[in-house]
Structures are given as structure tokens and as C-alpha cells.
Chain A
Amino acid sequence: MALRRLIVTLAVIAPVLWLLAFGFQRDARHINSPLIAKQAAPFTVTLFDGGKLSLSDLRGKAVFLNFWASWCPPCRAEARDLEAAWQKVKDKNLVFLGIALQDTEKDSRAFLEEFKITYPNGRDESGKIGVDYGTWGIPESFFIDPQGRITYKHVGGIRAALVIAKLENAAKGIVSAQEGKGDFVPVR
């Protein structure tokens, strides 16, 4: 009788404990993006260089969209790589667009100057663009094909080679099955 109770108790407790242990193997903050293969949300940014840029203006070209902030160390780590990648592809029909999230104008400009970024960058003032793209950890990079569909999302720092490879895929309209991951910090 006592043994049966013991077994029943074990049968109830053990799965719960196993489930909690399972929790250690995953990152609670990681959220798979439902946006892959969907239309990229439209937006308009005011560029640091002046002027406005809408996503719809970039139809017909593959776009590398990168969310960053000056206070984010992995963004600093990837900045030079991104500029280098841009230098390689800027004569082709490809666009790089950086968007500063949760950042002040002064600090963003300082960041761009420090890393001598030449591709267009704007600031997400209201935070709406970040929300529309479901950014939860920066840097986050989205690859958009010429028809405006998101083909790949990479959370965290990204290397130049991957940028170019995924951008070429995007130009051809190839959607990646898996999300990519690198070093990141969560958004505030």
C-alpha cells in the first residue's frame, strides 16, 4: 500500500522535475520569428544624413535591414564587418539600411562616426519599427527580397560573409528555413 503510494507520488513529481530541468536547455528569451517568408512591415525613417526613406522605396532591390544601438556591445563588434560587407556589394543592386533602436541621436551619430559607416542609417524614434519587426535582442538583422518578403532573420552579431551570402539568396528570393543566432543583448 505504502509502496503504491510512493510510486504514484514519484509518477507525479518526476515529470514536473524533468520539465523544469528541460527549461535549462533553452533560452527563455528566445522567440522564433513568425515573420520569415512574410511581407516586411512598411515604415519610414528619417535618415541621419537628412531626408526620409521608406521601405516601399526599396522595392525591386534586396535589402539588408540591421537593428542596432550604440550601447550594445555585439553591435559594436559587428559594425566594422557590416561596413566592409557594404563596401563589397554597394555597386550591386543591394541596399543596406541600419536602424538605431532605443538610442539617443547624439550617441547614434557618435557610433556611426566611430565605425565610419557609410550606408544609410535612421533612428526609430517611436519604437514602432522595432515592435513591428519583433526585435527582442539586438543586433537583429533582416534580409528582404526585391518583392518585400523577409527571407532570413539573424539575431545577434553577424559576420560579413554570412551577410553577403544571405543577401544574394534574398536577391534570388530564396527563403531560409532556420533563423540564425549570434551574440546579442536583449532590448530594454
Chain B
Amino acid sequence: MTATIGHSSILLAFVIALAGSVIPILVPRDANERYLRFARWGILGQFILVFLAGSALVYGLVMTDFSIRYVVFNTTRATPIYYRITGLWGALEGSLLLWEWILIIFSGIVAWVYRDRHREMMPWVLMVLSIVSAFFLGVIAFVSNPFEIISPVPMDGRGLNPLLEDANMMSHPPLLYTGFVGLTVPYAFAMAALIVGKLDDAWIVTTRRWTITAWFFLTMGNLVGAYWSYHVLGWGGYWAWDPVENAAFMPWLPATAFLHSVQVQERRGMLKVWNLSLIIIAFGLTIFGTFLTRSGILSSIHAFSSGPVGIVFLCFLAFVLLCSFGLLAYRSDHLKGQPELDSMVSRESAFLLNNIVLVSALFTIFLGTIFPLLSEAVAGVQVSVGAPYFNSVTVPLFILLVFLMGVGPIIAWRKASWDNLKRNFLWPTAGTLILALGLFIWTVREFWPLLGFTMLAFVAFTILYDTALALRARRRIAGEGIVSGLITLARRNQRRYGGLVVHLGVVLIILGIAGSMTYSREREATLGLREHLTVGPYLIQFEGLRGKQQPTHYLVEGDFRVFKGTQEMGLLSPALKFFPAQQAPVGRAVYESSLSEDIYLILSGFSELDKNHATLKVLVRPLVIWMWIGGFIILLGTLVSILPFREKDRGSKMED
């Protein structure tokens, strides 16, 4: 029953989406109004049906309806309710339904919010959204159907992959998918602008909040994924340059470039082709990402089981790229006649360089990701590309990016005079050089870490200095103190100050990455009872093993007392979980965080419980906590950027 409701809803929604995709091409020009109304009803119809289908699957999961194959493979009777719900996106078929669900919600919002605006573009926007929706609905309906029935009905399910039984499972995929799907909206507007020929900044201004929001979710999705890896997987790392991780990160790069580059088009009418290309590439990469995860062409620990779905996604990717770039080429004559760069030392050129660096990073990561394929296709040689390659090519690029984060927001438009540069950068640069000297004298001697930390300090100093100057002006003009001054500044120029706060958040994240990449230490040893292991200032003493039965697994914990110097930090108990359906145990590492470093304990192995021997691996990871703090700062900055603050006396430009 549930499965039938779900499957038929999807089929019906697919038909509606298909109609919405095709009709704008068929109707005559002046029937736009009629089409618009039809399209809006169509989206509403899809919305209701997809909601119905999604709810059906969630209902099936929560009620452990084992007549549905998907439920069998993703839950058991013993699975707690919250993990049953996350089962919705635990495997391939359900994850596509989640994607479509988010897509139709966003399409609905677009159809509603812009119902009285952009009359010329809206039919095409809704058409593009319908095409994407039709694709996903088609895949769900015909290729990987979550509502497939299984007969005879089994007594119990196989369960969610135990690695997915974690709180982060509730946030990471939805956040990431929201980011991916969010990029569809600016893409649809870009396509509409190309089709209609309205290539000024209307489509950019309209989608500004969408872009920022999508970027925010993409950033958070990746960050939570890194946190999950660090927190759960038990190897003390947060990023492995795994193909699927790269697939989630790659759209972020052109999205970031796009976010910044559109400001140049708004101000000066430049970089139009860049902006259109960037959003096409960003959206294309989201499709590429889902393709990579589901096709099985590259081996990855994240990959869903492969099937015919890969070929379908590749075809859609080809369709998207060819149509989008085809349209761009078709309209290329209209995109000429833009102003030239006045000077290499200007905000425009900083943004241009920003684009170039981000696209270069994207290219190198993309190349590294598909290199195994390339090498085998061309030379028949099997290689795998790992962290060393990615780290060596991305570190210099990202340090350059950090530098641009410091220069970009402050440097003048058009042409920065020497006076202007001196006024804005003298003190921050001086402070940075002093700090760099201090770091060098203290302990940071290696080139890349020193350069990295120096650049991060540069960004922080430029932001603080610029804000301090603005606050001083507020105090002089209106007698405002620091807090009210900050509030006024943020209200009057949300974009700028929201952006600066986000930059600070990014600085903190990169600080955490730089610290943990450069100065981590590790040691491993097998300890008997009361024996200890030392790493740096830490002493870890083994106190015994404990085993106990949990609802879904058998848990073996090792108790370790941690001392820092003479101070006791407490008892940490890393564990190994033994699931009945899996032969190898799942590790649960534990760690203690402080602002300066994390001490991370992994139970690698143990003897029989009564013999009380344990193999312990200890990692000391500096500055990691700043990555998560940076994430919160980014949240704050994004809110400042997009929340609608109303200024009573200001006739602000209607941006939406």
C-alpha cells in the first residue's frame, strides 16, 4: 500500500514535470502568461506528489514495513527511530528521493516568490527547474526505485550500515544536498537569461540570496562531513581526498568564485562570460558529483552500490553541459562590449585573479580525481592518486586565495592609488610582518606553514583594521560605541560585513587545517594493564577492557587515563563495536579538545577480554577545534549577509 502510493506519486509527478519541461518550447510567445500559470500549478502538483512519496517512504521506514525492499536494506526492528528516518538518505534510491524533495521545495519557493516578477524569464526558469526535476523523477520512477517490493516479506531488515549510525548522518547529507540543489536556482536563472537574451545583471541580483544560501549549505555540508570523519571514523583525519569527497568539494570552488565574481558584473558590467560559465560549471559539477558517487567508475569508501544509474546520470550530464555551453556560445556575441580592466592593482583584478585561482584549484582536483581513469584509458597503467598530490597542488593555491581574501575586500575599485594602498594596508602589513617574525623566532621555521600562518594573520589584520577605522568613523559621526557601531555598519552594508565575518570564519578553518597538517604527532603501542604511553606532554595509562551488549552491537571499550604534565585530564574510552552483520568491527575513537590541540585515542585492537592487553594509537592534532569554530562564524556571517534588516531612513536598492 505504502509502496504503491509512493511509486504512483512519483510516476504522476514525473509526467507533470515532463509536461512542464516541454510546453514552453511548444507554446507561442504570447501565451507566456498561460504557461506561467500552468507551470506554477505543475510545480505545486509535483510538490504535493513528491511530498506524498517522500512521506510514504519515511512512513515505511519508521513503521519497518519490510514489504518495501529499501526498508529491508536500511533498517532493522532494533534501529532507533531517528536512524530509521535517516535511512531515507542512507542508500542510493532514497538519497535521490531526498534530492528531488529538496529540489521541488526550492522550485516551489521560486515559483511563489517571483510570481509577479521577471515575467519574461520566469517561464524559462520554471522550465529548467522542471527539466531537472523530470530527470530525477524519471530516475526514481524507472531506474532506481525506492518503492520496489520484496517478496516474501522478511522477518527483519538488514539494517543501516553501522558507520552511518551517527548523529552526523542526520545533518551531513541533507546539508550537502541542500547546497547542491540550491545551485540549481541560479543556474536556472542563468539559463533563462541566456534563452531570453537578458544578459545584464538582473538574473544575478535576483539570485544573490539563493547563491549565498546554497554556498553556505555546501560549505557546512563539507565541514560536517569532515567533522564526521574526524569524530567517528577513528583515523584522526578529516579529509582524505577520496573521489566522493572531491566530488562534494568541487562544486564549492566555482560556487565561491561565482559568489564573488558576480559583484564585478553588478558594479562594472564585466566578467559576464566568467559568471555564466562559473554557474554552469558549478551546477554541472553537482550532477557530476552524484554521477561519480553512484556510477562505480572510481572506487571510494563513500560510493553507493553501482547500477545502471551511472549511465543515465552521464547522459544527463552530457545533456546539461552541451545545452548550457551551447547556449552560451550562441549568445556570445551579445556578451561582448564590456569595459576593460583599468589597472592590475584594483578590486576587479583581485576578483579576476580569485576566479583564476579557484578554477585552477578545481582543475587540479578534477584532474587528480579522474586521473586513474585517464591513466588506464590512455596508457593501460593503473595508478591511484592520493593525498600527497592533492596537498602539494592545493596548498600553494589556497594560500594565494587567503592572500586575496585579505586584499580583495579592501582594495579600491578601478585603480588603487599608492595613497589608497598605503592607507588601507600599511598597518595590517606591518602587523603581519611582526607576527611572521615572531612565529619564526618561536618555532615555525618551515616555508609553507610560515607563509600560510602569515597570510591568515594578514587577512585577520586587514579585516580588523578596516572595521576599526569604520567604527572610529561611526563614533565621530554618531557617537556610537563599539557594539552599536558594529550593528549600524552591518545593517548599512550587510553584504560587506557579512562577507568579512565569513572571511574570518574561513581564516579560522584554514588555521585549523594548517595547524593539524603541519604539527600532528602520533604514536602506537600495545599496552598491558597499568602500562603507559607518552606523546609530547601527554601520558596515557591503560586501565582495562570492558565489554557490554548494546541494542544493535557488542561494544568493547578500553579505559585510558590521560595526564597532561601532572594534571589528570580524565578517563577516555575508545571502543570497537562488533555488529552481527559485519565481520570487521567499527571503531569509535574518542578525543579531548582544547583550543590549542586535540588528543585523539584509537583502540586498534585488543586481546581476549580477560587478558587485558590493548593496542592504542594516540594522535595529537593541534588547532583542530578552530575548524569547527570557524564553521559557526561562517554561519553568523551568512546570517548577517542575508537576513532582511530594514533601515527606516534608507532607500535601499531593491535587490530581490
Contacts and interface: CB of A to CB of B under 8 A. Distances in A.
Interface in B356-401: 370, 372-374, 376-377, 382
A20 B290 CA distance: 13
A136 B547 CA distance: 31
Interface in A149-167: none
A23 B333 contact: no
B582 interface: yes
A29 B333 CA distance: 47
Dominant SS at the A interface?
Answer: helix
Nearest to A20: B314
B299 interface: yes
A6 B330 contact: yes
B410 interface: no
B508 to A, nearest CB: 36
Contacts of B11: none
Contacts of B583: 69, 71, 102-104, 188
B382 A2 contact: no
A23 B382 contact: no
Contact of B373 (A9, A13, A22): A22
A26 B376 contact: yes
Interface string A1-30: 111011001100100110111111010110
Interface size class of A (residues with CB under 8 A): 20 to 34
Nearest to B298: A28
A173 B563 CA distance: 58
Interface in A110-128: none
Contact of B332 (A1, A16, A24, A26): A1
Contacts of A6: 325-326, 329-330
Interface string B313-336: 010011001100110111111000
Contact of B382 (A31, A69, A102, A188): A31
A19 B582 contact: no
A19 B373 contact: yes
B370 A22 contact: no
B298 A23 contact: yes
A56 interface: no
B24 interface: no
A39 interface: no
B23 interface: no
Contact of B333 (A1, A28, A69): A1
B237 interface: no
B329 A2 contact: yes
A3 B333 CA distance: 11
B317 A5 contact: no
A151 B331 CA distance: 62
A19 B382 contact: no
Given A17-B317, A24-B310, A24-B311, A2 B584 contact: no
A178 interface: no
Given A13-B321, A102-B584, A32 B382 contact: yes
Contact of A17 (B318, B326, B328, B582): B318
Interface in B261-314: 291, 295-299, 310-311, 314
B305 to A, nearest CB: 12
Nearest to A136: B299
A17 B314 contact: yes
A6 B331 CA distance: 11
Contacts of B321: 13, 17
Contact of B377 (A13, A22, A71, A103): A22
B317 A24 contact: no
A149 to B, nearest CB: 22
Contacts of A16: 370
Interface string B583-597: 110000000000000
Given A24-B310, A28-B297, A188 B582 contact: yes
Contacts of A20: 291, 295, 297, 314, 317, 370, 373
Given A17-B321, A29-B299, 20 more contacts: A1-B333, A2-B332, A3-B329, A6-B326, A6-B330, A9-B328, A10-B322, A13-B325, A16-B370, A19-B370, A20-B291, A22-B373, A22-B377, A23-B295, A23-B373, A26-B297, A28-B372, A69-B583, A71-B583, A188-B583
Interface of A: 1-3, 5-6, 9-10, 13, 16-17, 19-24, 26, 28-29, 31-32, 69, 71, 102-104, 188
Interface of B: 291, 295-299, 310-311, 314, 317-318, 321-322, 325-326, 328-333, 370, 372-374, 376-377, 382, 582-584
26 contacts: A1-B332, A2-B329, A2-B332, A5-B329, A6-B329, A9-B328, A9-B329, A13-B318, A13-B322, A16-B370, A20-B297, A20-B317, A20-B370, A20-B373, A21-B314, A22-B373, A23-B297, A23-B298, A24-B295, A26-B376, A28-B296, A28-B372, A31-B382, A102-B584, A103-B583, A188-B582
